[in-house]
Structure 1
Amino acid sequence: MTEPQVTLVSASVIKVLGEYDHSFEIDSADGFVILYGPNGVGKTRFLETINALSKLSGPSLSRLPFESARLEYSDGTVLRARRDSNFDAESDADWQQAASVLVTLELPNEEPIEWSYGNDGFEDFIRNNLPYVPINDNYWEDPNDGEVVHVDELRDRYHRREFVNSSVPDAMAAFVATVPSILIETQRLRIEEAIRGPRGAAWRVSVGSKQRRQHRSRITDLAASMRTRVTAAQTEHSRITQQLDRTFPNRVLESSAVANGLDAESIRERYNAQNSFRSRLGRVASVALDDALSLPERQLDNWELNLLNLYLDDAEDKLAPFEVLLQKIELLEQIVNSRLLNKQLQVTDSDGLSVRRTGSGRPISLDSLSSGEQHEIIVMIDLLFNVPVGGVVLIDEPEISLHIAWQLAFIPDVKKIAQLAGFTFVVATHSPQIINDEWDRAFRLGPPEVAFS
């Protein structure tokens, strides 16, 4: 995987919860860090602040309990935030009072760019006049009937567009888009269920101002998305094949009759590599591929080597849409199947995702998998397929959904995924089993005299 041009290399947040200063550095050779420490030192708030600043989320920054935050990137860029708040607050409720925030982007050799976010009052309007309570920064729930609605829809519904703040400067928005942040929260599944409904049902607008749920699970959605990914690769493969096959005769006639630097051994090695790839691909996708040719054992003439080389070049181009996709699918299957008991997950172009009993081959409904199994499949798919190259993934307390054996395997598995998908990651944990043998990459947060638990 090609290294991204810009990555997050360090983060610091001052006065987390009004009390603690937290920081870490990411070694480019490792690409990850682990944060640990006792309860109550603000590990979650630390991650939330990093995520909010990375996303330029004014509403989140205005309510998170911190004084200042600083993110530094591999190209020397620095992104800062300072929250104008009262740090003599005596209760958590005091911290929930929104404050203005000044965000500064310092690009190398350029003048700093500033953006000020002030409390626009809309959240206070919701709290004081509507029955909704916040689920997260963007979604609110009516506890009377369970309706969940995005904040922008509430703005439209109650004609309060005048509350919207001034937009983020273009240069600032453009930079953070190059290093996207993804927060995987402890309560991720609970939040998703609240937003999407029981078993992941999606909200859809119906008659009137309220919404109704269409019952389709999150894991079923992912199965469909995997099928779409494979189908898209098949479509691109067909397009490339048609284009190359149409021009192949002309390219043969135009090519030199002399093979420069080619030899039969290198041609045979390429054939073997392509045949192996075809075999792996055939298990996942139905793709019209030319039958592999058997090369004669005799010495090949130069014109034959030149023709075969051109043929192999075309075959590589035809297979290119599947190259990274197949690597990710195989890693997904490897990781998940090492955790499932008497079950086997497979990705195919027909089913997307399917799970079968190991012995009988009997299919198992994805929705009938345990919540822990579904959670692991969902997280691994998200990490492999939904994290942009160069992103930073913030994972809060992954041990909550994992038994001990899965905890021990968690960091090694995510390291493999991160290397393939091209992202860095930060894990906050209470579990020594998550850290396992990675203590040299672990940062202790909180007072050293307090026991780690």
Structure 2
Amino acid sequence: MKLKKLLINGLFGHFNHVIKFKDENITIVTAPNGYGKTICLKVIDSIFNRKLSFLCDLQFSSIELFTSNGTLEIIKNNDEERSRSITLGHSDESEIHEYSREFELSTRKSQSTHVIDMHVPFLHRVGPREWEDHRTNEVYTFEEVIENFAEYLPNEFTSKNYPQWFIDFSNSLNAHFVQDQRLIQRKADRTSRGRKQSYEDTIEKYAAELAELIRDSGFQSSHVSQQLDTTFPVRLLANDRNFRSKDASVLKDELQALQNKRAELSSFNLLSSEQHLPAMRMLDDIKDEDRKVLTLYVEDTYAKLKPYENLYKKIELFSRILNSKRLSFKKIKIEAEKGFHFETEEKRPLKLTQLSSGEQHQVVLLYELIFKTKENVLVLIDEPEISLHVAWQKEFLKDLEEIIEIQNMPVVIATHSPQIIDGKWELTVDLEGGLS
């Protein structure tokens, strides 16, 4: 699905906003504070993540979202008795659907919270109406569980009973919201008396996540290696008429390419540097009887390294951006145990929280854009300029364009920083003229 235009009428009783999405994969929404540019992002997020309770609580008269899959229309019911309900309609459907915040809340109160324990295996109860996600240590209230994990719960429990056309529409595009508050996240601490809610530094959480991604790639590579090594003698001795050994010159080129790829991976400690091939001069005289074994070796090695391919691209971009004079007198280092960490120019290790708040914002924002988004996911970024030095702000769009090259994702940004825009006014939509 491709977004074309968003109309929000009567926002806060004052604004009529029109956002035409750009074809260049980047749309920048600008406005003075208080005009609702962040709200525009949250409206899009609430539609595609089906958080319609947000729209029930929002003051507006109508919303129209024009897409390549038709137009979604949302009307706010503003009379007293139905003030917290909305009506959904679609250009290709005759059916309309009314969604009520009050009905949802009353239905939720009558449902047993034990349904969550039964249907969402990665959530563990840490309070009467609180659960911890053991994958991330984040704590969710009852309402947040419903909003974030509704797909795991029975329809009658969520009480939403959306029409199929709206489910299909919202499923046509995944949206990822990068919030303005990025440095602290909630978690659950285990104590001798049970668990209590606390907070953790996002930069430390993301370093641990990267370590896990590296380990997962290593496990996948080891699994492929075990399968291929086990069958290697059989494949080598098999008389397969469809198998074609590569020419000696091709083998030499591909072995050199493998050498280079291994060197790239080992530069980020994804592979041991000791795993490199022998000196290439030993391959100058490849005999015919050796071509089959070397052909199998090349094909197998590419398969063994493939689990690292996507991760390497992301790590290389992440490290290159941060090491290109972004962090004063510091360098980022990647390794399997720590994920990422930093050293001074004198090679002294630094705690992640010893970075300034601006540096942490830079690291966390880049990590989220590179590692936590996926290809073709709509990314909504709220005020990327927060705590960033002016020089970093001016580099943001350039960084984002590089990330889009490997992620191929549309992005909508809300900002009031001319440094973020960096002269690319053709990508902007100004909401200042939307005052009714």
State the TM bucket, normalised to the shorter chain: 0.7 to 0.9
- Is the aligned partner of 1:229 residue 2:213? yes
Cα 1:50/1:286, change in 2 over 3 Å: closer
Tell me, yes or no, if the aligned pair for 1:259 and 1:302 is still in contact at 8 Å.
Answer: no
Q: 1:202 corresponds to which residue? A: 187
Match of 1:63 among 43, 49, 57: 57
67, 80, 85: which one pairs with 2:72? 80
Partners in 1 of 2:96 and 2:289 — Cα distance? 64
RMSD over aligned Cα atoms: 3.8
Q: 2:102 aligns with which of 102, 120, 123?
A: 120
Residues 285 and 10 of structure 1: is their aligned pair in 2 closer, same or farther, counting only changes over 3 Å?
Answer: farther
Determine the C-alpha separation between the residues in 2 that align with 1:114 and 1:125: 21
Whether the aligned pair in 1 keeps the contact of 2:9 and 2:17 (CA below 8 Å) is: yes
Q: What residue in structure 2 maps to residue 439 of structure 1?
A: 425
What 5-or-longer segments of structure 2 have no aligned partner? 109-129, 132-138, 148-155
Aligned to 1:92: none
Query: How far does residue 384 in structure 1 lie from its aligned partner after superposition?
Result: 1.1
Cα gap change, 1:206/1:421 in structure 2, threshold over 3 Å: closer, same or farther? Answer: same
**Unmatched 5+ residue regions in structure 1?**
1-5, 88-94, 127-137, 140-146, 156-161, 190-198
Check the 8 A contact 2:342/2:350 in 1, yes or no: yes
Identity of aligned residues (%): 27
Residues of 2 paired with 1:216 and 1:224: CA distance?
A: 12
Task: Check whether the contact 1:49–1:64 (CA below 8 A) recurs between aligned residues.
Answer: no
Residue equivalent to 1:100: 85
Matched, 1:344 2:331: yes
Q: Conserved in 2, the CA contact under 8 Å of 1:343 and 1:356?
A: yes
**Residue in structure 2 matched with residue 159 of structure 1 by the alignment:** none
* Cα distance in structure 1, aligned partners of 2:354 and 2:63: 43
CA distance in 1, matches of 2:391, 2:406: 23
- C-alpha separation in 2, matches of 1:381 and 1:57: 25
* Partner deviation per Cα, 1:147-190 (whole Å, 9 max, x = no partner): 994536899xxxxxx9953333456435534522122233455x
Q: Aligned runs of 1:108-187 on 2, under 5 Å? A: 111=93, 114-120=96-102, 149-151=141-143, 165-169=159-163, 172-173=166-167, 175-187=169-181
Alpha-carbon distance between aligned partners in 2 of 1:31 and 1:42, rounded to the nearest angstrom? 22
Once the two structures are superposed, residues 52-79 of structure 1 have per-residue CA deviations (whole angstroms, 9 ceiling, x without a partner) of 1121211101122333333344xx3135
Secondary structure (helix, strand or coil) at the match of 1:398 reads coil
Residues 31-62 of structure 1: CA distance to partner in whole angstroms, max 9, x if unpaired? 11112233443212211211111212111011
Distance 2:249 2:142 in 1: 61
Are the structure 2 counterparts of residues 448 and 287 from structure 1 closer, same or farther at C-alpha, using a change threshold of 3 Å?
closer
SS at match of 1:21: strand
Distance 1:169 1:154 in 2: 18
Aligned to 1:323: 309
**Take 2:401 and 2:146, find their aligned partners in 1: how far apart are those partners?**
40
What TM-score, normalized to structure 1?
Answer: 0.75
AA paired with 1:21?
N
The 3 A distance-change label for structure 1 pair 321 and 435 is same
Q: Equivalent residues in 2 for 1:16-415 (5 A)? A: 16-28=11-23, 30-73=24-67, 76-78=68-70, 80-86=72-78, 98-104=83-89, 111=93, 114-120=96-102, 149-151=141-143, 165-169=159-163, 172-173=166-167, 175-189=169-183, 200=185, 202-204=187-189, 212-214=196-198, 216-254=200-238, 262-285=246-269, 287=271, 289=275, 291-292=277-278, 294=280, 296=282, 298=284, 300=286, 304-338=290-324, 339-358=326-345, 360-415=346-401
| Offset of residue 283 of structure 1 | 2.9
Relative to 1, partners in 2 of residues 1:66 and 1:54: Cα closer, same or farther, differing over 3 Å? Answer: farther
What per-residue deviation string (whole Å, max 9, x for no partner) do you get for residues 315-355 of structure 1? 11100010010110111111222311011112210211211
Q: CA deviation at 1:382?
A: 1.2
Which amino acid counterpart does residue 434 of structure 1 have in structure 2? I
* Structure 1 range deviating more: 36-45 or 346-355: 36-45
Is the 2:65–2:73 Cα contact (8 Å) retained in structure 1? Answer: no
Say whether the 8 Å CA contact 2:361–2:388 is kept in structure 1.
no
State how far apart, in whole Å, the 2-side matches of 1:256 and 1:121 are. 67
Distance 1:118 1:279 in 2: 58
Distance, in Å, in 1 between the alignment partners of 2:41 and 2:406 is 24
Q: Which shifted more, 232-241 or 47-56?
A: 47-56
Query: Closer, same or farther in 2 for the Cα pair 1:207/1:33, shift >3 Å?
Result: same
Bigger Cα displacement from structure 2, 314-323 vs 11-20: 11-20
TM-score between the two structures when normalised by the length of structure 2: 0.78
Shift of 1:125: 12
Distance 1:84 1:259 in 2: 66
> AA paired with 1:232?
D
Q: Distance in 2 between matches of 1:60 and 1:400?
A: 24
Task: Provide closer, same or farther for how the CA distance between residues 244 and 329 of structure 1 changes in structure 2, counting only shifts above 3 A.
Answer: same
